[in-house]
């Protein structure tokens, strides 16, 4: 399979007759198909970044190929493409399908192993390689990377959601809607995403009831447009 994954070619091979720009700014994407889902058309918002367009196409292809999603049309808004914020199971399933399609685990792990210890720069490099957004690449990195890592997604210093990897054993003390920790450099207006900062663990981690917590948590933050940030967390194991 070539990388970036040729999502439009795969869609056409699966029975999608056209993949074209959606004429409305109201929606991120749409699928129109026959009642047996043998033919269809996928539309996507052409004003979005290319990484977002690719994910939208893959999401709509998920609606088309997941056999229990029996409808002849889907119109998806921005929150429908979120793995955590969608209102229906079908939308979450289509987004998980898209993530698996664009970031296949075997290929992703193969590239990840070439890059060494956890770094935001590695996530950026993987996103460039696979043609995927920083957000979805960071999620995948934490979920399958085999590191003691977590990632915090925020906007205007308010947590949107968090993801912990399997080996990040301690629960975070921040959740959706919370402010970023007062002492965290992630609250700064800007900074260098290559810089690591260390913080007493209690600023990020809940009080432990089992395993002894680390003394420090290390963090890097990527500042994005419009107040969005991605903060990578890790600690010594």
State pLDDT tens for residues 150-203: 999 999 999 999 999 999 999 999 999 999 999 999 999 999 999 999 999 999
Q: State pLDDT tens for residues 103-159.
A: 999 999 999 999 999 999 999 999 999 999 999 999 999 999 999 999 999 999 999
Q: Is the pLDDT confidence value at 86 over 70?
A: no
**Secondary structure letter of residue 126 according to DSSP:** H
**Residue 130: which H helix or E strand, with range?**
helix 120-130
For range 215-228, the mean pLDDT = 95
Quick one: which of 148, 130, 126 has its CA closest to 138? 126
DSSP output for 47-111: TS-HHHHHHHHHHHHHHHHSTT---SEEEE-GGGG-TTT-SSHHHHHHHHHHHHHHS-HHHHHHH
Domains of the chain: 7-102 (1.10.10), 105-234 (3.30.450)
Q: Minimum mean pLDDT among 127-136, 205-214, 218-227: which range?
A: 205-214
Burial 64-85 (b: 16+ CB within 10 A, else e): bbeeebeeeebbbeeebbebee
Answer whether 196's CB lies under 8 Å from 218's CB.
Answer: yes
Strand order in the sheet with 73-76: 16-21, 40-44, 29-33, 73-76
Q: What mean pLDDT is reported for the chain?
A: 93
Q: Is the pLDDT confidence value at 57 over 90?
A: yes
């Amino acid at each position: 399979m070539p990388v970036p994954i040729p999502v439009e070619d795969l869609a056409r091979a699966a029975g999608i007759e056209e993949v074209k720009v959606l004429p409305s700014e109201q929606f991120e994407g749409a699928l129109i198909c026959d009642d047996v889902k043998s033919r269809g058309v996928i539309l996507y918002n052409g004003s979005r970044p290319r990484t977002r367009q690719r994910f939208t196409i893959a999401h709509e292809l998920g609606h088309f190929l997941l056999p229990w999603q029996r409808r002849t049309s889907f119109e998806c808004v921005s929150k429908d493409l979120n793995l955590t914020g969608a209102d229906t199971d079908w939308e979450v399933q289509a987004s998980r399908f898209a993530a698996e399609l664009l970031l296949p685990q075997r290929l992703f792990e193969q590239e990840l192993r070439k890059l060494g210890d956890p770094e935001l720069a590695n996530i950026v490099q993987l996103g460039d390689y696979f043609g995927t957004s920083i957000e979805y690449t960071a999620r995948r990195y934490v979920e399958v990377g085999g590191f003691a890592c977590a990632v915090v997604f925020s906007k205007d210093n308010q947590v949107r959601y968090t993801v912990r990897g399997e080996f990040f054993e301690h629960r975070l003390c921040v959740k959706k809607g919370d402010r970023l920790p007062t002492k965290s450099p992630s609250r700064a207006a800007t900074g260098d995403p290559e810089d690591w900062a260390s913080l007493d663990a209690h600023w990020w981690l809940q009080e432990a009831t089992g395993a002894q917590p680390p003394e420090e948590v290390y963090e890097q933050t990527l500042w994005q447009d419009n107040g969005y940030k991605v903060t990578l967390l890790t600690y010594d194991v």
